[in-house]
Amino acid sequence: MAVNKAQLIETLKQQVSAIDESARIAGYRQELLVTLAEIVEVESANRVRKTSVQQDVTAKCEALGMALLDGGWQG
């Protein structure tokens, strides 16, 4: 309740549009937004339950990195 996640995701979505997708892979913005939404969930859960948040966030970052590689991103 403490945070209106839908509103937060909407704000994240607006900022994701600043990412240059042509320098990444097709569909990257959506992947990025999903990852951010997942991180928001991870942080929310950790706020009340004290989860392994650092590992979880790292895993999300790696998953997005994997999506980049799988998508043929060369850097």
Partner 1 sequence: MLKLRRARFSNFRLLRDVELSFSVDDAKRLTVIRAENESGKTTMLTALQWAFFGDAALDESPGRPARLYPIDWDATAEPRVPVSVEVEFDYASETTLKDGSSVRSEETFLIRRSCTEHPNEDGAGARTNNSLMLYRLEAKGDEPVANPQVELEDKFPVGLRELFFTDGDRAQTWIEVGTQGVKRARVQNAIRSLLGLDLIEKAQDHVKETLNSFNRELKSIGPNTEAGKLGDRLAEIEVELAESEKAKGDATEALGRIEEQIQDYENRIGEALRQGDRDDLQRQVSSANDQLKAAERTEVQLQRQHSDLFKDTSLALGLLAPHVRRARGLLAGLKERGTIPQKFLPILEEAVDQGVCVCGTSLAKGTPTRKHVCDLIDEHKKVDAIVDRLTDLNVLASRLGTSLDVEDAVGWSQRARDSFQLVSGAQETLRTAQERAKELERQLEGLPDTAVADLTKAKKAAEEQRKVQIRSEREAEIKIHTVERERTELTKRRDQLLRSEKKYARLRANLRAAEDIHGVLALTFAAIQQGKMREVSEEMNRLFLGMIVANTEQAQKAIIQKAEITDDYDIVVTGPQGRRLDPDRDLNGASRRALTLSFILALTNVSGVEAPNVIDTPLGMTSGLVRHSILRTAAENATQLVLFLTPAEIRDVEDLLDEYAGAMWTMSNTAHYPTMLANEPPASDLRVVLCQCGHRQFCSVCERNGDELNDRLVRRPS
Which of 13, 22, 26, 51 is in the footprint of partner 1 by CB under 8 A? 13
Asked whether 37 and 9 are in contact (CB, 8 A), the reply is yes
Token couple for 69: 């590689």
Based on the shown chain and the rule CB under 8 A, indicate whether residue 73 belongs to the binding site for partner 1.
yes
Rounded to whole angstroms, how far apart are CA atoms 35 and 67?
Answer: 11
Based on the shown chain and the rule CB under 8 A, indicate whether residue 12 belongs to the binding site for partner 1.
yes
Q: How far is the CB of 30 from partner 1 (least distance, A)?
A: 7
Based on the shown chain and the rule CB under 8 A, indicate whether residue 18 belongs to the binding site for partner 1.
yes
Token couple for 38: 């997942």
Token couple for 53: 């948040």
Based on the shown chain and the rule CB under 8 A, indicate whether residue 53 belongs to the binding site for partner 1.
yes
